[in-house]
């Protein structure tokens, strides 16, 4: 039996500006996706000797049926390629669930990448992107995760190919989920972030100016989250007190991330959050 393996990274949104609510209920946005090194999930695909689709996961809270995005990704791939599934997919789950880090979307994209490898790239890149968009707005980004400016619902991507180095990040994930639907329903402002902020953020990434990058962090969804969950404000204040250049909620939350001037400061921020909040917050 052939075995294929891959890693599914999470992401943070360095900038997230909701530009308008669409007639279909979704929101157009402008965001900067940034893939993170940790936490990450791992996926493997085993070719079976009989027809069928199987899914297993290390997290017992996740369903291993058609409710899972990994399962739906495999079904859509098989349907589009005109083949019968003979696959067992295993997911080792490390990215917190419903945390604003894109874990589910990344897992779905990882399944599509694994199936392309296992099936000798049966589908075109255009078809793969079409499937990704059917699965979720940011699944397209995770097909080839790299720093990117995104528009539309998150599917129109402009890779930042000249981004310099790795951001000194600290990730702090409170141990409770937040529904993305709730975050958008409680959006307190719909006003595009200034062009100056976006240009400054892109410039900071290209220059490796992490202090400037931290200063430019922005998320339209965060005001409602800070109001609903005071703990998030406390974590953010702790990050700044420990030396972070910037700290903000990623996506629809509740995970916060801090950008520091260097890796040493990022480690100090991580230590401070662990000391202050203990097991209530997972720190990466």
How much is the pLDDT for 135? 97
Hey, which residues are catalytic here? Answer: 11, 138
- The residue segments making up the domain with residue 23 are 3-158
Could you tell me the two tokens for 169? Answer: 């990040």
Tens digit of each residue's pLDDT (9 = 90 or more) over 20-65: 888 887 888 999 999 999 999 999 999 999 999 999 999 999 999 9
Kindly state whether residues 95 and 189 are assigned to the same domain.
Answer: no
Kindly state whether residues 244 and 278 are assigned to the same domain.
Answer: yes
Kindly state whether residues 150 and 202 are assigned to the same domain.
Answer: no
14 closest CA partner among 181, 152, 203, 153: 203
Kindly state whether residues 132 and 205 are assigned to the same domain.
Answer: no
Tens digit of each residue's pLDDT (9 = 90 or more) over 146-195: 999 999 989 999 999 888 789 999 999 999 999 999 999 998 766 666 78
CATH number for the domain spanning 115: value is 3.30.230.10
- Out of 106, 125, 158, pick the residue that ends a domain: 158
Residues 6+ apart with CB under 8 A from 79: none
**pLDDT tier for residue 217 given thresholds of 50, 70 and 90:** very high
Kindly state whether residues 23 and 95 are assigned to the same domain.
Answer: yes
Give pTM, 2 decimals.
0.94
Tens digit of each residue's pLDDT (9 = 90 or more) over 74-129: 999 999 999 999 999 999 999 999 999 999 999 999 999 999 999 999 999 999 99
How many other CB atoms sit within 10 Å of the CB of residue 161? 9
* Burial letters 94-122, b for 16+ CB under 10 A, else e: bbbebbbbbbbbbbbbbbbbbbbebeeeb
């Amino acid at each position: 039996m052939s075995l294929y393996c891959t890693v599914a990274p999470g992401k943070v949104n360095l900038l997230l500006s909701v530009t308008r609510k669409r007639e279909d209920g979704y929101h157009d946005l402008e965001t900067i996706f940034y893939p993170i090194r940790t936490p990450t999930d791992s996926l493997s695909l085993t070719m079976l000797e009989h027809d069928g689709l199987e899914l297993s996961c290390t997290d017992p809270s996740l369903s291993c049926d058609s409710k899972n995005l990994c399962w739906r990704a495999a079904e859509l791939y098989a349907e589009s390629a005109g083949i019968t599934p003979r696959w067992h997919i295993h997911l080792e789950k490390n990215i917190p669930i419903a945390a604003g880090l894109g874990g589910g979307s990344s897992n779905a994209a990882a399944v599509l990448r694994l199936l392309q490898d296992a099936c000798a790239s049966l589908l075109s890149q255009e078809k793969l992107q079409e499937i990704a968009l059917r699965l979720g707005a940011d699944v397209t980004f995770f097909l080839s995760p790299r720093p990117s400016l995104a528009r539309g619902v998150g599917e129109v991507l402009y890779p930042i190919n000249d981004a310099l180095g790795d951001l000194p990040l600290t990730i702090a994930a409170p141990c409770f989920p937040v529904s993305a639907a709730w975050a958008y329903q409680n959006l307190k402002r719909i006003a595009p972030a200034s062009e100056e902020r976006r240009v400054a953020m892109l410039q900071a990434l290209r220059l490796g100016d992490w202090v400037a990058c931290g200063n430019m962090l922005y998320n339209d969804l965060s005001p409602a989250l800070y109001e609903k969950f005071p703990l998030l404000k406390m974590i953010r204040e702790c990050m700044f007190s420990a030396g972070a250049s910037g700290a903000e909620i990623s996506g629809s939350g509740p995970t916060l991330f801090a950008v520091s001037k260097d890796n040493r400061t990022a480690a100090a921020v991580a230590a401070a959050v662990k000391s202050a909040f203990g097991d209530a917050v997972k720190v990466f």
